[in-house]
Amino acid sequence: MKTGFVSSAPAALDAAALVILDAEGPASPLLPPAAAAWRAELHESKEFTGKLYDLAILHRPEGVAARRVVLAGTGPADKFTPAKLRNLVGAVVRKLKEKSVSSIALALDAGHDAGAAIEGAILGNFEPDRLKSKKEGLGSLESFTVCAPEDARAAFDRGVHIGHGQNFARDLVNEPGNLLTPTVLAARGQAMAAAAGLECEVLDRDRMRQLGMGSLLGVSQGSAEPPAFIIVRYRPAQAAPSNAHLALIGKGVTFDTGGISIKPAESMEKMKYDMAGGAAVLGAMQAIAALKPAIPVTAYVPTVENMPGSRAQRPGDIVTSLSGKTIEVLNTDAEGRLILNDAMTYARREGATHLVDAATLTGAIVIALGGVNAGLFANNDDLANRVLGAAAATGEKMWRMPMDDEYKDMLKTPFADLPNIGTRGAGSITAAKFLEAFAEETPWVHLDIAGTAWLDEAKPYLAKGPTGLPVRTFIQLAMGW
């Protein structure tokens, strides 16, 4: 999809559809005069009232270059947020694609966030059907043009990079486990970094052995696919005044069978999305390379396949992590924390001052928060608030979860420093308490995205499948530092 930004008069735009936002009150000043009577009649008859997501289409209006004028309802103007604009534009794109509209122009006034609008268009245009020979889905738009006052151009340009970063992550998440192995994910990371002008390093199994990443290696040993540890570095041209160095860490399990503690067959196919955290980190880095925040950011993606092969680790095995802590593997399906702890230790040793990880870590977070909010866990209020602020600013929902000391008492074993699972209950919190032990004194936030990284049913603005969360939060966190 081609994206464009213009500041000319909306009525002069050549497109299959010109979209005008319509709040429930008086008509938008951007509405071409030729469509004014039509709009008044719609409101009069209550056929179209400007309710959020409502659409009305007028064909071949006079004095308008576009072949259609589309009214898109925003709901009451004072309740219309950038998050709603993002979703509304996504919904418009999906609705009009269904009608085989190939090019859209959207008229915005100064009060609208052109960045959120183009993000919504790019996200709405994503279809998870790359591997379908005959596309049954909604197809793809050829072009989307935002028409807005010139000073919205910078926000628009940022939105293009953010939308593409998010869709890059969604493409990775969507790829099945046979095609996207740890080796392939590493190659994708390298290709992205090369194209974006970032430095990328991939540690192989031998290197991880030398370093002593016994926790990560234990998970990978049941698979014929070798593990990889992907590191992507962004460095600002000008040294920032603070000494902050942000590490973004993402769980990269390309397929999670559970290992010897094998998962039931039902819905196991979904476990291809167990690398959504890693994909989000890589998608964010692609945008960060273009947007150039003032602080250094390094991405760490430990990637493995969790399989029950003959060399697989057994329940009861005890591994030694890079940190030196020993871990009793009571359940091989709690593998995310086993690969993340080695990545956290590595990032800290490289000088990271702030750790933020994203992981499809627990089924328990799906029970607690459903598909609405990601769970946020932290050992530091300042960093937690920074991440919550970035999430709120970009329309990604997160909810902070408790981390009382008592939960730590649920993680005990007589045989090693830590077991990899807790006693019954609070499964997402004990998982976070496990990770917290490896953050030591470093400020750290953990996002459990098991419920929010994958949509089981399409939304009006988003296809079924990978959501790309929390790419926008990561980008905003770096940009707003």
276 CB burial (10 A radius; 0-12, 13-18, 19+): buried
Q: Which of 333, 342, 396, 436 binds ligand BES (CB under 6 A)?
A: 333
308 CB burial (10 A radius; 0-12, 13-18, 19+): middle
State the nearest-atom distance from the C-beta of 259 to Zn ion, in Å: 7
φ and ψ of 146, to 5 deg: -100, 130
Q: Does residue 413 touch ligand BES according to CB under 6 A? A: no
For ligand BES (CB under 6 A), the number of binding residues is 16
The closest of 468, 473, 446, 472 to 455, measured between CA atoms, is: 468
The closest of 464, 474, 399 to 173, measured between CA atoms, is: 464
Q: Does residue 328 touch ligand BES according to CB under 6 A? A: no
Residues involved in catalysis: 263, 337
State the nearest-atom distance from the C-beta of 298 to ligand BES, in Å: 24
CA distance 327 to 213: 12
- What is the chain's alpha carbon radius of gyration, rounded to the nearest angstrom? 24
Take residue 41 and report the two structure tokens written for it: 């009649």
Q: Which of 116, 312, 347, 364 binds ligand BES (CB under 6 A)?
A: 364
Q: Select from Zn ion, ligand BES, none the partner in contact with residue 331, using the beta carbon and a kind-dependent cut-off of 5 to 8 Å.
A: ligand BES
How does DSSP classify residue 24? Answer: S
Comparing CB distances to ligand BES, the nearer of 3 and 360 is 360
State the nearest-atom distance from the C-beta of 270 to ligand BES, in Å: 7
CA distance 219 to 259: 8
Residue type for position 94: R
Q: Which of 30, 141, 334, 387 binds ligand BES (CB under 6 A)?
A: 334
Comparing CB distances to ligand BES, the nearer of 171 and 335 is 335
State the nearest-atom distance from the C-beta of 105 to ligand BES, in Å: 39
Q: Does residue 450 touch ligand BES according to CB under 6 A? A: yes
Site for Zn ion in 243-282 (CB under 5 A): 253, 256, 274
CA distance 43 to 26: 10
Q: Select from Zn ion, ligand BES, none the partner in contact with residue 421, using the beta carbon and a kind-dependent cut-off of 5 to 8 Å.
A: ligand BES
Comparing CB distances to ligand BES, the nearer of 268 and 318 is 268
Site for ligand BES in 186-215 (CB under 6 A): none
Q: Does residue 357 touch ligand BES according to CB under 6 A? A: no
* Residue ranges with strand state E in 168-239: 199-203, 228-234
State the nearest-atom distance from the C-beta of 412 to Zn ion, in Å: 21
Pairing outcome for strands 354-359 and 444-448 = parallel
CA distance 28 to 355: 45
State the nearest-atom distance from the C-beta of 419 to Zn ion, in Å: 15
194 Cβ neighbours under 8 A, 6+ residues apart:
200
Site for ligand BES in 239-298 (CB under 6 A): 256, 274
Residues found near Zn ion in the complex (CB under 5 A): 253, 256, 274, 333, 335-336
Residues found near ligand BES in the complex (CB under 6 A): 256, 274, 331, 333-336, 360-364, 366, 421, 427, 450
